[in-house]
Amino acid sequence: MKATLKKLLLVLFTLISFNSFSQTPEPVYSFVRANHNFEWYEQQAKSWRHEIDLHTKNNMAWVYYFTANRMAGYCDSKAWENQKKDYFLPLKDIIKLAEKAIPNSFELYYMKIYDDCAGNDTGSKYIMKAQKMKPYDKLLLPWLMNYYQFKNDKSNIETVSKKWYESNEMPADLLAITYNKLMSVEENGILLVNGDNDTYPFWILQNVKKIRTDVLIMNVSLLGRDSYRELIFKENSIPELILKKNAGWHMSDIVKHIIENVKDRPIYVSIQMDQDIYKDYSDKMYIVGLAFKYSEKSFNNMAVLQNNVENKFLLDYLKFNFSNNYAQSIVDQSNFSYFAIFLKLYEQYQLSGETLKAQKIKELAKKVSQRCGHDTEWMQYFEK
């Protein structure tokens, strides 16, 4: 009887232990596409490590395990550091394990690209190795875009843009808001941007759909790379800028250099750019849409804003959401960028007695705030 009880307890313990990992592991993406809390990434790291320990044939298990660790570290570096266990490992250690388990694989090279940040010859080598195996895999597209941007290889930039568009990986709503950002800029303007979702959609629209190719998109973070900055500045007749890397440079140094040296083209910054990057010029930035225009002289920016939103923007996609993709939460956060300009227009319409327009813009503001879970918090500003 005791032997039987022991066996039952052993079976029960085994089931409980297994069930602690039995949660079906889910694909883990960069926060550029999906954003979760630390606990979620921790659970995914456990689950994918369990899959790996079971000798799964799915090479993507390594990518998801790697990404879960990377995202957990971004969410809470102290918690990640304090909980280093079998499922939380330094990224280099995960790569070493993967080298033995999935040698010479696309997934291994993809992880090595991240490890080297693709910022040197080694990282570029892994990009090329991965591309030979899966030429335009969705995972590889951002790295390929950067690789060819750094070389200013316009032919391959166009090819990668087309492949990216055809893959449907780029959410349609991100392309829509990017279209409206481009419509916020005057002819031949320069638009300063930063961040993946505030950069790649521009290059896709310009290279695939040929929309507003007159606008020069300049990612201030990428311009921190000396060779790339030299190419772009030379091509656009912008004086050379030498960043004192050892002295601790900031992206604001690049913005300052462009503003002070470009006089023949209007300059804008994306509404999604961190204000700290252009804080020295904040009193000369005028909102004209989903971008701020830099201007030494004041002007009637509200008239420009109203014209852009009423006559140039595509906004129907905000009224109803028919999509349901893994990046929806990121899309909703991006669309919340409209809230500030909708509030300004609402106030303008109220003052001019345009009640119907005021009500319509308020409804749009409510929709974008609801999708982010901010309607209760933010819609009160429309009642003041």
Residue 44's CATH number: 1.25.40
**What's the one-letter identity of residue 237?**
S
Instruction: Give buried/exposed letters for 205-220 (b at 16+ CB in 10 A, else e).
Output: bbbbeebbeebbbbbb
11 falls within a domain: no
- The confidence score (pLDDT) of residue 22 equals 44
Using CA atoms, how far apart are residues 72 and 156, in angstroms rounded to an integer? 34
Domain end point (choices 139, 162, 185): 162
Domain end point (choices 135, 162, 189): 162
Using CA atoms, how far apart are residues 121 and 105, in angstroms rounded to an integer? 19
- Under the banding of pLDDT at 50, 70 and 90, the label for residue 1 is very low
Q: For 144-167, how does the pLDDT look when each residue is reduced to its tens digit (9 = 90+)?
A: 999 999 999 999 999 999 999 999
Using CA atoms, how far apart are residues 346 and 351, in angstroms rounded to an integer? 9
239 and 278 co-located in one domain: yes
Structure tokens at 349: 């319409």
- Under the banding of pLDDT at 50, 70 and 90, the label for residue 16 is very low
The residue assigned the tokens 């390594």 is 62
67 and 95 co-located in one domain: yes
Tell me what percent of the residues of the chain surpass a pLDDT of 70: 91
Q: For 268-311, how does the pLDDT look when each residue is reduced to its tens digit (9 = 90+)?
A: 999 999 999 999 999 999 999 999 999 999 999 999 999 999 99
289 and 223 co-located in one domain: yes
Beta-bridge mates of residue 293: 268, 286
Parallel, antiparallel, or unpaired: how do β-strands 291-294 and 267-270 relate? Answer: antiparallel
Three-state secondary structure call for residue 331: helix
Question: Within 13 Å of residue 178, how many CA atoms lie on the same side as its CB?
Answer: 28
93 falls within a domain: yes
Q: Which of 11-20, 37-46, 115-124 has the lowest mean pLDDT?
A: 11-20
Q: Which residue has the higher pLDDT, 325 or 40?
A: 40
Q: Domain total for the chain?
A: 2
264 and 362 co-located in one domain: yes
Domain end point (choices 110, 139, 162): 162
18 falls within a domain: no
Q: For residue 136, give Cα distances in angstroms to 167, 171, 172, 199, 327.
A: 9, 17, 19, 19, 20
Q: 283 is in which domain, residue-wise?
A: 170-383
119 and 259 co-located in one domain: no
Residue whose C-alpha is closest to residue 327's, from 201, 145, 140:
201
104 and 227 co-located in one domain: no
233 and 135 co-located in one domain: no
77 falls within a domain: yes
Question: Does residue 177 surpass a pLDDT of 80?
Answer: yes
